[in-house]
Amino acid sequence: MTREPGRIFREAWIAGVRKHFPGEPKPGYVTPWEETPDWERQAAAAVEGQVRDFVAVSDGRTSSLSRSQKGRFVALCWIAQIHKHIEAPKPGYVADWDDLPEWQRETDADIFETVERRGTPPRA
């Protein structure tokens, strides 16, 4: 069964937030895919595709990367999508890796590893 591009990213994000966020996350952090805004679905699909492509062009050697390196890749790809979809984003939306809260860094690494485990089927 083929999944809609971006859905794996979103599901990994929600799972990571539920696992790593201290306390109760904001409702928008755990909004189900069906209720996620279109721009955010497009951004999730783009970043999921970038991770898949990166794993593919690395011949699967991304398993040798640290969790920090994996998370940084996701975070940087996401920042580019924020700039694409939001004209004047809040500084927190485009914060550099070192400025992200620990829960978000861990969640970004989880996203990479989830996409990495799912393999690299051709992009739709």
pLDDT per position as a tens digit, 9-26: 999 999 999 999 999 999
The tokens for 54 are: 């990166």
Over residues 16-56, the pLDDT tens digits come to 999 999 999 999 999 999 999 999 999 999 999 999 999 99
> Is pLDDT of 123 > 50?
no
pTM: 0.92
Rg (the chain; Cα; Å):
14
84 near 43, Cβ under 8 Å?
A: yes
